[in-house]
Amino acid sequence: MIKKSLKARKSELSKTQRQLDILSNSIFKKGVLPTFKEKLESHKISSFQPKTLKILQINIGYMCNQVCAHCHVDAGPDRKEMMPPDIMIKCIQTMNDAGVETVDLTGGAPEMHPHFRWFVEQIRKKTKVKEIIVRSNLTILLANKKYHDLPSFFVKHNLHIISSLPFYRKNKTDRQRGSGVFNTSIKALQKLNAAGYGKPESGLILDLVYNPSGAFLPGDQNALEQDYKKALSKDFGIVFNQLFALTNLPISRFLDYLIASENYEDYMTTIVEAFNPSAVANLMCTNTLSVSWEGYLFDCDFNQMLDLKVAVDQPHINQLDVKKLQNRNIQISQHCYGCTAGAGSSCQGSLT
């Protein structure tokens, strides 16, 4: 089990350019597989532009109490990057200026940011945002006394909680997210249920995220949701709203795993062959803008981790021009195949 981020280990793959080189060379350069751009063109999609901006996904920092084997953020306790308050204030201004409907707070573990609660309170107080999502890793709720009251904070501000639980049994979850994570996640889910989350009459939404614990694609989202609901209810009395089945994208630590386990080429072949053109129109990058802890803007959180900034002159929230952003071309590379494979994949699950 890994204990440190790629960055702390000084891995070559902690450099975004190295990742982009891998994704652009080898099988793609040799013409064995088409690049994502070539694939879009073969389906008569020559330019790839966003629709109306609806979701502002804000990565408020890369610090996390877990070091998951598949993490595309390369998050962990050794990551110290945190969004400063002035960028948070600018984000709030942007929510109003752009008429953002949904704010999606992610990390790392967003709750570990010292200004997390203040930020949520400000969003509720100063904007008309309809929905605030927090991507909670669950174990943070029990990691330290100072986090124990988070469920009541979530309830107070009616936050939509989306949490990763790679499987409904211990072994697969712990292999991916660390020893003991499953049991702690179960306790955290029970706390959230006790606060009303996941119960149909409460209006408090608790969604779970499944992602494959290895070099394969997720199965049918509805079938997996039924299996999760049955097993978690029977074994632990846990209820939740929806399950989102996400594909692992070949970047950062998952890319490191693919290469080390000699699965890279087969996995890329799998996601290229599973390309589903009907998923393209609903890709999350078409209605989402991702903001980094420093305030830089990206088409999605994955592009953020590859440092592929939005294709405008000044890709920073301090110089944000909504009109110019609407006319940009979305930045793509071969990792995008992860979102168009099979039923499609986004931070809100399947796309088709």
Partner 1 sequence: MFINLYSYKYNIMNKEYYNPNDLKKFGEITTWSKELGDRFFEYYNKVFDEGALSSREKSLIALAVAHVVQCPYCIDAYTKDGLQRGIENDEMMEAVHVGAAIKSGSVLVHGVQMMNRHDQLSM
* Interacting residues with partner 1 (CB under 8 A): 22, 26-27, 30, 32, 167, 169, 172, 210, 212, 214, 216-220, 223-224, 227, 259-260, 264-265, 269, 273
Nearest-approach distance from CB 259 to partner 1, in angstroms: 6
Considering beta carbons, is residue 26 or 287 the nearer one to partner 1?
Answer: 26
Considering beta carbons, is residue 225 or 301 the nearer one to partner 1?
Answer: 225
Q: What DSSP letter does each residue of 276-290 carry, written as one string? A: -HHHHTT-GGGTEEE
Nearest-approach distance from CB 151 to partner 1, in angstroms: 28
Nearest-approach distance from CB 336 to partner 1, in angstroms: 20
Considering beta carbons, is residue 93 or 263 the nearer one to partner 1?
Answer: 263
Distance CA 93, CA 98 (A): 9
- Using the 8-state DSSP alphabet, how is residue 68 labeled? -
Considering beta carbons, is residue 143 or 272 the nearer one to partner 1?
Answer: 272
Considering beta carbons, is residue 77 or 219 the nearer one to partner 1?
Answer: 219
Confirm if 66 and 144 have CB atoms less than 8 A apart.
Answer: no
Nearest-approach distance from CB 274 to partner 1, in angstroms: 11
Confirm if 194 and 237 have CB atoms less than 8 A apart.
Answer: no
Distance CA 9, CA 7 (A): 5
Q: What DSSP letter does each residue of 262-322 carry, written as one string? A: T-HHHHHHHHHHTB-HHHHTT-GGGTEEEE-TTSBEESSHHHHHTT-B-SSSS-BGGG--H
Nearest-approach distance from CB 238 to partner 1, in angstroms: 17
Distance CA 110, CA 182 (A): 20
Nearest-approach distance from CB 271 to partner 1, in angstroms: 13
Q: How is residue 352 written in tokens?
A: 């088709």
**Which residues 6+ apart lie within 8 Å of 22 measured at CB?**
255, 259, 264
Nearest-approach distance from CB 227 to partner 1, in angstroms: 6
Considering beta carbons, is residue 169 or 234 the nearer one to partner 1?
Answer: 169
Other residues' Cβ atoms within 10 Å of the Cβ of residue 316: 17
Helix (H) or strand (E) holding 94: helix 85-97
Task: Judge residue 298's burial from the number of C-beta atoms within 10 Å of its C-beta, 0-12 exposed, 13-18 middle, 19 or more buried.
Answer: buried
Considering beta carbons, is residue 101 or 265 the nearer one to partner 1?
Answer: 265
Nearest-approach distance from CB 174 to partner 1, in angstroms: 14
Distance CA 147, CA 151 (A): 9
Considering beta carbons, is residue 30 or 125 the nearer one to partner 1?
Answer: 30
